[in-house]
Structure 1
Amino acid sequence: MFYEEEQATDIIGCPCTLLNPYDGYTDGEVVGDYGYEIVVRLNNGKEVVEYRDEVLIYD
């Protein structure tokens, strides 16, 4: 998987919800920000890469 340079932004560590569930999981935490894509660690421990507009981020 190709990533741009990771950005240090205020959303890292914020709780979030996936608009499209991943294996039934939707809730997680933002652990990486790559501009258009973010890395989300779901409550089951799995990390997934999603487009920013496919995730609701709570701050």
Structure 2
Amino acid sequence: MCLLCIAFASWVLKTADPQSGDAWKAVLLANVSALSAIRYLRRYVKGEIAASEKKPNLKTLCYS
């Protein structure tokens, strides 16, 4: 999902005509897509960290 957003933002910026008056819309859309991808990645990483902390450590269970 996030790679798709980043690819879309890159494509929008490459195909936008910088001389047109609507170039700011393309830049805004690309920035929103990139920020959305970054927020998604941050939530995913935090979820992975929380899930790994909840798992019992097998070494401590075996050697206790």
In the superposition, the TM-score normalised over structure 1's length comes to 0.21
Structure exhibiting the larger radius of gyration computed from Cα positions: 2
Instruction: Flag the structure with higher helix content.
Output: 2
Instruction: Flag the structure with higher strand content.
Output: 1
